[in-house]
């Protein structure tokens, strides 16, 4: 596991919850530190970590969970499957550090970080009770909606990288599967996180 993750908040006593943030491709844990600090301020007692992805990015800077060079709808899922063991190990590591189990864990992902977070719910035991996906998507339509997991999608209406329809369609699919999902499409927001998105992300932890 890459050791460049940043702990934004480590309570002196037992943590009330664990919040893990996962950045996009070509970025790093530092890029989500402002959001992590925002959440830490809003959630006293939470153990909050911005997690650094394990591999250097093929885009020439930053980190990644899987390469997006030459990525297609057909080869994306195999790349995610290959990266998922390290993702699950990272979550388990911070759960041990914080003393918080899956029922008190939230995964917040941006772009590729949200893809990994969402896809982690599709096989094996859920890693968290909440997944907040910012500007993200499932690699393929969801196949299951674990009863223990709440899904929250926050997406810019003007996102040119991952279209907002992916969040809308995912939320609808999860509801058809009997799951619990919300979706917020924010006018004027492209592929990024603004104050509105940060407020919504923090609010969904309540």
> What is the residue-wise DSSP string for 153-200?
EEEETT-SSS-THHHHHHHHHHHHTT-EEEEEEETT--SS--HHHHHH
Of the residues 28, 135, 159, 167, only one is catalytic, namely 159
The residues facing 111 across adjacent strands are none
Selecting among 67, 158, 184, 191, the annotated active-site residue is 191
User: Is residue 159 among the annotated active site residues?
Assistant: yes
Q: Are 93 and 7 in contact (CB under 8 A)?
A: no
Answer yes or no: 191 catalytic.
yes
Check 111, 114, 117, 135 and give the catalytic one: 111
| Three-class secondary structure of residue 89 per DSSP | helix
Instruction: Tell me the catalytic residues.
Output: 111, 159, 191
């Amino acid at each position: 596991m890459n050791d460049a993750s940043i702990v934004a908040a480590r309570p002196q006593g037992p943590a009330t919850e664990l919040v893990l943030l996962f950045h996009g491709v070509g970025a790093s844990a530092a890029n989500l530190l402002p959001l992590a600090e925002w959440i830490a301020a809003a959630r006293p007692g939470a153990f909050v970590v911005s997690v650094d992805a394990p591999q250097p990015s093929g885009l020439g800077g930053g980190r990644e969970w899987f390469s997006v060079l030459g990525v297609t709808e057909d080869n994306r899922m195999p790349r995610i499957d290959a990266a998922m063991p390290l993702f699950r190990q990272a979550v388990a590591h911070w759960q041990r550090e914080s003393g918080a189990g899956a029922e008190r864990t939230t995964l917040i992902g941006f772009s590729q970080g949200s893809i990994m977070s969402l896809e982690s719910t599709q096989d094996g035991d859920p890693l968290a009770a909440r997944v907040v996906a910012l500007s993200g998507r499932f690699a393929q339509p969801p196949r299951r909606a674990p009863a223990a997991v709440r899904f929250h999608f926050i997406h810019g209406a003007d996102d040119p990288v991952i279209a907002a329809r992916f969040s809308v369609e995912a939320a609808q699919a999860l509801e058809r599967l009997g799951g619990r999902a919300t979706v917020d499409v924010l006018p004027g927001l492209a592929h990024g996180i603004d104050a509105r998105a940060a407020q919504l992300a923090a609010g969904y932890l309540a």
